[in-house]
Amino acid sequence: MSLAQKKKIYWSLGFLFFSLGIAYLLWPSRSLEPVSVNQVFANAHWAKPIPNLPPLAGVGEVRAENCGRCHTEIYQEWKTSTHANALSDIQFQSELTKSSSPKWLCLNCHTPVANQRENLVNYLQNGDYKLPIEEKNPHFDPKMKAEAITCAACHVRLDEQGNSYVIGANGETKPPHPVRIQPEKLRQRCLDCHNANYELDDQLVCAFKTGNELQASKATHGKETCGSCHMQEVQRRFVKAELGTPVRKAHKHAFIGGGVPKRFDLYQKQIPGGYRIGLKVDPIRWSFLKNGLEYSISIKNEKAAHNIPTGDPERFLLGRVSILDQKGNLLEKKEIKFGQEWEWYPKAKMVSDTRILPGETKNWKETFTVHSSNSPTRIVLELYHIRLKESNAEYMRKGNDLATEEFKRKIAKVEEHYPFSSLIYKEEADLRTQKRKLYSPEELIRISSNRRGE
Ligand code: HEC
Ligand code: HEC
Ligand code: HEC
Ligand code: HEC
Ligand code: HEC
């Protein structure tokens, strides 16, 4: 072998080892160990869905649709609820289709039973929530998936033998299906999802503290549970009349909240479902000073045992006062916000919180300068409950890389499909005659259902 040939071989060998070394360093699975979800998210009960629930004796598949064969009224109410719409929610779908979204985690609260999941996640590569190891779920039920927070999410669990049973709160009933009476467990279930306070990393935090807020209001609100207000009592049969069961104390299942439903057609279900504003608003007070009009507004959180607004940090209340002249021309508009402000980068943190605490009263006072060229004659107060800001809707319209064509079309015109906000209070007063008009809940719902956008 000539020297030149030897050199060539050494170079080739050198190059081969060099390439192998690089490949070794870059090979993805080299440093990735599967770590169990339970280990990474100890104490976070929402890190996994409820285990697969087999068919319930006397009922069949544990779908809401099946429960609805006998529990007809409850089923109809539940179908109008935000719970039943927690998967089809356009905002949720839009967030889910962003490539950065930890879908598997989001779905644990929005579709909380394993039967609703194509894939299950028991392990994370390297314990990283962004690298779930997905396994096919042989018990996947696509119909049940569409039901989102279905009856079984609160009512069905596995017994010691691995059979499904229903959790009830009453007893002395004779259902055709197995039932265990565990009222506390059933009533406390809300907190598993509505009291999640967790930091995944610098940017992604879960900050729902409605349960803690309720706890803090114990002194004024006593032993109330979420259901005391969100599941109104009604006297009726639990099941359709043909089954001949007695009329009992029962509960509405529409789970109405702040009066901003997920679709425009659901506005008409808000009042029958139990919607009522949590605020007590005093009539506007005003007085004419030497060269000004002084007015004040007083708003109390009277009926909610938690902050208003609660839950999602994006929400806020907007108060708006307009001063008009005799012809209805706007002379001045002043606004105030009650809500949280967050800073998301470099680290998510709440920078201010002006939400209204249970029992708290917010007073708002302003002065309008009167001069020779204006003559204020009318004052209007409006309160809006805002769920989605236009700036966030714009963000939704932009980044929906993975959405299906159908959703892309909906998201592009999200304001036509999705209520962003509702008008929850309106008062008009004539500054001279003192005559006032107060809008009724029905009028407000009608106006809201015709509004579009923020
Ligand atoms: C074939 C009819 C039928 C079906 C289907 C059915 N139920 Fe029932 N269920 C009943 C009857 C009857 C009662 C007892 C009513 C009474 O005595 O007032 C009952 C009672 C209950 C109770 C109250 C028990 C208590 O004492 O507090 C709950 C909760 C309940 N069912 C949930 C469900 C759920 C969830 C499903 C679906 C997974 C379901 N049921 C499916 C007929 C049915
Ligand atoms: C988000 C949780 C949740 C969901 C979802 C839910 N329920 Fe309930 N349900 C409850 C709670 C809590 C009670 C007990 C209320 C009490 O007694 O304080 C209850 C009570 C009941 C009762 C007893 C009668 C009554 O009205 O108090 C029946 C029957 C029932 N639910 C059936 C259903 C059916 C059928 C579905 C689905 C269509 C369903 N529930 C969905 C939480 C839920
Ligand atoms: C499995 C998780 C889960 C459980 C359990 C749960 N919720 Fe919810 N709840 C949600 C999610 C998710 C939403 C919001 C869905 C959306 O906006 O798309 C929601 C929304 C609501 C709303 C807001 C309705 C609105 O449109 O403003 C109310 C009120 C509510 N839940 C009450 C309750 C009550 C009361 C209970 C217990 C009886 C309960 N929830 C149990 C997950 C849950
Ligand atoms: C004393 C009655 C009461 C109790 C108890 C109560 N709520 Fe509410 N909740 C209300 C009222 C009233 C509203 C409507 C507030 C408004 O005017 O916007 C509301 C609104 C909501 C909303 C909609 C978000 C918003 O800001 O409007 C959610 C979600 C909610 N409640 C969840 C819960 C949960 C979860 C619990 C239990 C931890 C609970 N509530 C306990 C009265 C109550
Ligand atoms: C611990 C349970 C839980 C997890 C995990 C969860 N959510 Fe939710 N989500 C909720 C509850 C509860 C609400 C309702 C809060 C309220 O109305 O106060 C909600 C509401 C929402 C809403 C509606 C907000 C509104 O104002 O109407 C969107 C959108 C949403 N979630 C997206 C997501 C996304 C995206 C993820 C994953 C990054 C996720 N959620 C993970 C429980 C959860």
What is the pLDDT at residue 113? 98
- Whether the Cβ atoms of residue 407 and residue 399 lie closer than 8 Å to each other: no
Q: Can you say whether residue 253 is alpha, beta or left, with left for phi > 0 and alpha for psi between -120 and 50 degrees? A: alpha
Neighbour tally for 8: CB within 10 Å: 12
Q: What is the mean pLDDT of residues 114-139?
A: 96
Helix %, strand %, coil % of the chain (to 5): 30, 25, 40
Q: What is the mean pLDDT of residues 20-48?
A: 75
Rounded distance, CA 10 to CA 7, Å?
Answer: 5
Ligand 4 nearest atom to the CA of residue 224, by list position: 5
Atom 16 in ligand 3: which residue has the minimum CA distance?
Answer: 86
Omega within 30 of 0 (cis) for the link into 346: yes
Token pair for residue 188? 């406390």
Q: What is the mean pLDDT of residues 237-250?
A: 97
Ligand 2 nearest atom to the CA of residue 153, by list position: 5
Nearest CA among 325, 280, 319, 289 for reference residue 430: 325
Indicate which ligand has the atom closest to the C-alpha of 258.
4
Domains of the chain: which residue ranges?
34-196+224-255, 273-450
Q: What is the mean pLDDT of residues 79-96?
A: 94
- Whether the Cβ atoms of residue 369 and residue 332 lie closer than 8 Å to each other: no
Distance 235 CA to ligand 2 centre (A): 14
Of the pLDDT bands very low, low, confident and very high (cuts 50, 70, 90), residue 82 is very high
Q: What is the mean pLDDT of residues 416-441?
A: 97
Ligand 4 proximal residues by C-beta, below 6 Å: 190, 194, 210-211, 214, 221, 224, 226, 228-230, 257-258, 276-279, 303-306, 308-311, 315, 385
Report whether pLDDT(36) > 70.
yes
Rounded distance, CA 164 to CA 150, Å?
Answer: 15
Q: What is the mean pLDDT of residues 346-362?
A: 93
Percent pLDDT > 70 in the chain is 93
Of the pLDDT bands very low, low, confident and very high (cuts 50, 70, 90), residue 449 is very high
Rounded distance, CA 96 to CA 101, Å?
Answer: 6
Distance 250 CA to ligand 2 centre (A): 9
Indicate which ligand has the atom closest to the C-alpha of 250.
2
Q: What is the mean pLDDT of residues 78-99?
A: 92
Write the pLDDT tens digit of every residue in 150-192: 999 999 999 999 999 999 999 999 999 999 999 999 999 999 9
What is the pLDDT at residue 59? 98
Ligand 1 proximal residues by C-beta, below 6 Å: 56, 59, 62, 66-67, 69-71, 151-152, 155-156, 166, 168-171, 173-177, 179, 181, 238-239, 243, 245, 248
The string over 154-183, giving b where at least 16 C-beta atoms fall within 10 Å of a residue's C-beta and e elsewhere, is: bbbbeeeeeebbbbbeeeeeebebebeeee
Nearest CA among 416, 315, 414 for reference residue 93: 414
How much is the mean pLDDT over the chain? 91
Rounded distance, CA 99 to CA 121, Å?
Answer: 18
User: Ligand 5: does its nearest atom lie under 6 Å from the Cβ of 153?
Assistant: no
Distance 80 CA to ligand 5 centre (A): 18
Answer with the residue of higher pLDDT: 196 or 265: 265
- Whether the Cβ atoms of residue 346 and residue 340 lie closer than 8 Å to each other: no
- In the block, tokens 């998936």 appear at 145
Distance 176 CA to ligand 1 centre (A): 7
Write the pLDDT tens digit of every residue in 244-270: 999 999 999 999 999 999 999 999 999
Q: What is the mean pLDDT of residues 323-331?
A: 95
Atom 1 in ligand 1: which residue has the minimum CA distance?
Answer: 70
